[in-house]
Chain A
Amino acid sequence: MSSSKKDLKVVLLGNPNAGKSTLFNALTGLNQKTGNYSGVTVDKLQGSFKYKNNSVNLIDLPGTYSLFAKSTDEEVAVKDLLSQKEKPDVVIVVLDSTNLQRNLLLATQALDLGMRTVVVLNMIDEAIYQNINIDIDKLKDLLGVNVVAIDSRTKEGTEKIKEAIVNAEVSRNKFFDVTSTIDYAQMVNSQFENSNQIELQKWEENDKIYRHKNIKYIFGLCVKSPEQLKLKERSTKIDRIVTHPVLGYLVFMALIFVIFQFIFYVAEYPMGWIEDAFISLSSLIKTNLPAGILNDLVSDGVIAGISGVLMFVPQITFLFLFIALLEDSGYMARASFIMDKIMRKFGLNGRSVIPVISATACAVPSIMSTRSISNFKERLITIFVLPMVSCSARLPVYTLLISMMFPSTIVLGFLNFKGIVLFGLYVLGFAFTLITAFVMQKLLKTKEASFFMMEMPVYRVPLLKNVALGVINKIKVFVFDAGKVILSISIILWFLSNYGPGNAMEEIEQKYTNAEYVHVAEADPNYHTDFIASKKLEASYIGVLGKAIEPVIRPLGYDWKIGIALITSFAAREVFVGTMSTIYGANENEKGIQEKLMAEKDENGNLKYTTAVCFSLVVFYVFAMQCMSTIAVVKRETKSWKWPTIQFVYLTVLAYVSAWVTFNVLQ
C-alpha cells in the first residue's frame, strides 16, 4: 500500500486538551497554514509532511468530545471528518493517556465509522510519571487498530505515527450495540439532517451509556493505575492557592498586571522601532524614486498603511504569548473558574476578563484573544462590547481636550483634577461595556445550546514550540486577513486627504507660492509650510467631506474642521490630534495646537472650544468606533460584515446621542 506515490488526507481528531496541537506541531513543524471553514468562525489549521512516497496533508480538527456536535467547533470537526467530497484517508484519534476513560468515548465512536484509523496515546510520559500503566498490546487487540504511544513533547514516536498512518486499517471491532443492527456512520450523519432529533437524542444517550460500559471493561483490562479517584497532587496544591478566595484573586490580578505592563509599556519600544523604520523607508523611497503620483502613493499611502498594520504586531505578540502560556499551563481554566460568576452576571464569561482588561491597551489584540471563549454567545458579546473600553490610542485625544477644558492645574487635596476627569472617562467606558453586555445577554438568541462545562486540565509546563507557533499563526492571521482591510482603508484615507476635486490642490500651491507670499515664506518658512498644508487639507476630498457632514455634527457643537479630524481619525483615534494640528497650521506640536484651539473664535466672536464642545468631543471618543483596525479585526473574527456593521451603527449612535446630551447639558 505504501509503495505507490500517494497524496493522503489525514485528520487529527481528539478531545480539547488531548494535546492535538502539540502532535500537529511535532508532525508538521512550520509547514502549516491557517485557513477558514466557510461560514463559521472556526479556523482551519492545515499542515503537511512527506513520508516515504506519501505526501500527507494533515488537518488539525477543532477539539471535540463526541461525534454528536454540541457546539460550532464540534460541528465543524464532525462535518470535516464525515466529508463526502474529500473523505479523509486516515483518521488519527489523539487520546490523553492520563485521561483515557473519557477520551476513549470519542475513540470508539471514530472506530465505529469504519474508516482507516490510528489511535495515538499522547503524553505517555505523563501517564508513566503518574504510575498509570497501559497495556498497549491488549488495547490494540481490543480496539482492533494500531495504537501508538508517544511523548509528543520530545517528538519521540512521531516516526512511528507516520509509519502507522500509511499502514492504517479499519477496525474489525464494534463498540455500539450491534443487536440494534444500525449503520453507525448513518446515525452520526443524521444529526445534520431534518430527521427526528428527539428520537436521535434518546438513541445517542443510550449509545453513550452502552459505550461507557464497554469502555469500563476495556479500561479495566488495559489500564492499571495505583489509585482511582484521585487528582494529581501537584495540581491540587497549586489549586489550593490559585482558587483560594483571597490569594486566588491576588494571583490573578498580579498576572493581569504583568500582561498589562507588557502590552501597554514594553510593546511601545518595538512599536517605535517599527514606526521609525517605516519613516526611514518612506523617505528613502521618496528621494530615490522619480517624483510623481506613484512615488507619493508608495511612500505615503502604501508604506504608511503597512506600517499601520505592523504596528499592532508587538502588542499581539505579547498578549498571545501570555495567553498561550496561561492556556497551555492549565491556569486559564482556573482564572475562568474564579471569575465566571462575576462575569456571567453581565452575559460575559470567566475568559472575558483578559480581553476586557487588555482592551485598555488596544481592542485589536483583545478581540483576537476572545477565541478562547468557547461559548459563541458569550464570545460575541465580549467582542461587541470591547471597543467601549478606552484604549491607549484615545489617550492623546483625551489629554489634549482635558487640558483645554482645565488649562490650569487644579488640585483637590492630593488629587489632580485632570486625572479625575480622565479616570471618569475610563469609568464611563467600562460602565457602558458592562451595561451593553447585560442588555445583549437578554436580547441575543442563539441556535446553539449553551454548555459551560469545561475540563480543568492538570498543570503542565508549556511547550515553547507550541507557544511560538501559536503566536506566529495569530500574527499571520492578523497581518494577512485583517491587514488587507486596514491597508485598503488607509490608502483610501491617504488619497482623500491628499487629493481634491479638479485642480484645487495645484491652485493652492500656486496661489501661496507666488510673488506676494514670498516674503511670508522667507520670514517664517515653518509657518508658511504649515499654512499651505492647512489650506490643502481644507481643499482635499476629506475637507469637502468634513464640510459636507458639518450639518450633521453641528448639534454636537462641532464644525467642519472637527469633521475633517473625525474622518481622518478613523485610521486611528490619535490621528485626531495630528489632523487638528495640520488644519490649524500647528504641526506636530501639542502645546501649539492647544493654544491655537483655545484662541479659536466662532462666527459670533465667542470662544469656539468651550467646555461644552470639548466635553462633547471626549464623550464622542469614549464611544465611537473610530477605528478601522477594530472593524477589520471584528470582521475577521466573526467571519462576516454583519457584526462589525451592527457594532459600528450602535457605537456611532451611542456616541452621537451621548455627545449631543453632553453638549446641550453643559452649554
Chain B
Amino acid sequence: MAIFVEYIMHTLLSELKPGEHAIIKSIADNAMKTKLIEMGCFPGEELYITKIAPLGCPFAIYVSGYELSLRQNEAMNIVVERLN
C-alpha cells in the first residue's frame, strides 16, 4: 500500500512540463546519483522546468540557483513531487 501511495504521489522529473515546480524526493541508486547530487539535485531541493528542447529532449531545469540541462535518461532518475 505504501509503495502504491508513493507511486501515485510521486512523479519522475522527466514527466514534468515546462513551468511546473516540484520538490526532489529521491534519486535512483546508480552511478548517476553522486553526479546529480554534485550538480545540486538532492532530496529536499526545489526545482522547476525552464524549458524542454524542441525534440522533447534534453530538459532544462532551474535548481540550486542555476539552470541545468539533462538528457531524458538522466531526468528519469529523479523522483519528484509536484508543487502547486
Task: State whether the Cβ of B28 lies closer than 8 Å to any Cβ in chain A.
Answer: no
Task: State whether the Cβ of A105 lies closer than 8 Å to any Cβ in chain B.
Answer: yes
Task: State whether the Cβ of B2 lies closer than 8 Å to any Cβ in chain A.
Answer: no
Task: State whether the Cβ of A100 lies closer than 8 Å to any Cβ in chain B.
Answer: yes
Q: CA A70 – CA B46 in complex, angstroms?
A: 24
Task: State whether the Cβ of B68 lies closer than 8 Å to any Cβ in chain A.
Answer: yes
Q: Collect the chain B residues with CB atoms within 8 Å of residue A451's CB.
A: 32, 35, 74
Q: Mark B41-69, 1 if CB is under 8 A from A, else 0.
A: 01101101011011111101010111111
Q: Closest A-chain residue to B45, C-beta based? A: A212
Q: Mark A320-347, 1 if CB is under 8 A from B, else 0.
A: 0000000000000100011011101000
Given contacts A229-B62, A451-B74, A452-B71, contact A201 B37 (CB under 8 A): no
Q: Collect the chain A residues with CB atoms within 8 Å of residue B56's CB.
A: 341
Q: Collect the chain A residues with CB atoms within 8 Å of residue B45's CB.
A: 212
Task: State whether the Cβ of B76 lies closer than 8 Å to any Cβ in chain A.
Answer: no
Q: CA A99 – CA B21 in complex, angstroms?
A: 20
Q: Closest A-chain residue to B71, C-beta based? A: A452
- The answer, among A65, A230, A248, A338, for a CB contact under 8 Å with B39, is A65
Cβ-defined contact, B54 with A208, below 8 A: no
- The answer, among B34, B53, B62, B74, for a CB contact under 8 Å with A205, is B34
Cβ-defined contact, A340 with B53, below 8 A: yes
Number of A-B contacts (CB under 8 A): 106
18 examples of A-B residue contacts, CB within 8 angstroms: A102-B65, A105-B40, A201-B31, A205-B34, A208-B38, A209-B42, A212-B37, A229-B46, A229-B62, A231-B50, A244-B54, A340-B58, A340-B71, A341-B56, A341-B58, A451-B74, A453-B71, A453-B74
Task: State whether the Cβ of B82 lies closer than 8 Å to any Cβ in chain A.
Answer: no
Give, as a whole number of angstroms, the nearest-CB distance from B59 to chain A: 10
Cβ-defined contact, A209 with B37, below 8 A: yes
Q: CA A640 – CA B20 in complex, angstroms?
A: 48
Q: Mark A197-237, 1 if CB is under 8 A from B, else 0.
A: 00001001100110010000000000000000111000110
Give, as a whole number of angstroms, the nearest-CB distance from A68 to chain B: 7
Give, as a whole number of angstroms, the nearest-CB distance from B34 to chain A: 5
Q: Closest B-chain residue to A209, C-beta based? A: B42
Q: Collect the chain A residues with CB atoms within 8 Å of residue B60's CB.
A: 337, 456
Q: Mark A424-458, 1 if CB is under 8 A from B, else 0.
A: 00000000000000000000000001011111101
Task: State whether the Cβ of A239 lies closer than 8 Å to any Cβ in chain B.
Answer: yes
Give, as a whole number of angstroms, the nearest-CB distance from B8 to chain A: 26
Q: Collect the chain A residues with CB atoms within 8 Å of residue B21's CB.
A: 229
Cβ-defined contact, B38 with A456, below 8 A: no
Task: State whether the Cβ of A413 lies closer than 8 Å to any Cβ in chain B.
Answer: no
Task: State whether the Cβ of A101 lies closer than 8 Å to any Cβ in chain B.
Answer: yes
Q: Collect the chain B residues with CB atoms within 8 Å of residue A231's CB.
A: 50, 62, 67
For the complex of A and B, 5 pairs with smallest distance between CB atoms: A245-B54, A456-B67, A341-B55, A101-B65, A102-B40
Task: State whether the Cβ of B33 lies closer than 8 Å to any Cβ in chain A.
Answer: yes
Task: State whether the Cβ of A66 lies closer than 8 Å to any Cβ in chain B.
Answer: yes
- The answer, among B38, B57, B65, B71, for a CB contact under 8 Å with A65, is B38
Interface size class of B (residues with CB under 8 A): 35 or more
- The answer, among A102, A205, A239, for a CB contact under 8 Å with B66, is A102
Cβ-defined contact, B53 with A456, below 8 A: no
Task: State whether the Cβ of B70 lies closer than 8 Å to any Cβ in chain A.
Answer: yes
Cβ-defined contact, A205 with B33, below 8 A: yes
Best-surrounded residue of A208, A248, A458 (most CB of chain B within 10 A): A208
Task: State whether the Cβ of B36 lies closer than 8 Å to any Cβ in chain A.
Answer: yes
Q: Collect the chain B residues with CB atoms within 8 Å of residue A455's CB.
A: 66-69
Task: State whether the Cβ of A307 lies closer than 8 Å to any Cβ in chain B.
Answer: no
Given pairs A212-B40, A341-B53, 10 additional interface contacts (CB within 8 A) = A70-B38, A99-B65, A231-B50, A338-B53, A338-B54, A451-B35, A453-B35, A453-B36, A454-B69, A455-B69
Give, as a whole number of angstroms, the nearest-CB distance from B14 to chain A: 13
- The answer, among B31, B46, B65, for a CB contact under 8 Å with A100, is B65
Q: CA A358 – CA B65 in complex, angstroms?
A: 35
Q: Closest A-chain residue to B75, C-beta based? A: A453
Q: CA A66 – CA B37 in complex, angstroms?
A: 10
Task: State whether the Cβ of A243 lies closer than 8 Å to any Cβ in chain B.
Answer: yes
Q: Closest B-chain residue to A344, C-beta based? A: B71
Q: Collect the chain A residues with CB atoms within 8 Å of residue B50's CB.
A: 231, 236, 239
Cβ-defined contact, A342 with B55, below 8 A: yes
Cβ-defined contact, A337 with B34, below 8 A: no
Cβ-defined contact, A453 with B51, below 8 A: no
- The answer, among A66, A201, A235, A454, for a CB contact under 8 Å with B68, is A454
Cβ-defined contact, B37 with A248, below 8 A: no
Q: Closest A-chain residue to B52, C-beta based? A: A243
Q: Collect the chain B residues with CB atoms within 8 Å of residue A99's CB.
A: 65-66
Give, as a whole number of angstroms, the nearest-CB distance from B39 to chain A: 6
Q: Collect the chain A residues with CB atoms within 8 Å of residue B35's CB.
A: 70, 451, 453
Q: Closest A-chain residue to B74, C-beta based? A: A453
Cβ-defined contact, A452 with B58, below 8 A: yes
Q: Collect the chain A residues with CB atoms within 8 Å of residue B46's CB.
A: 229
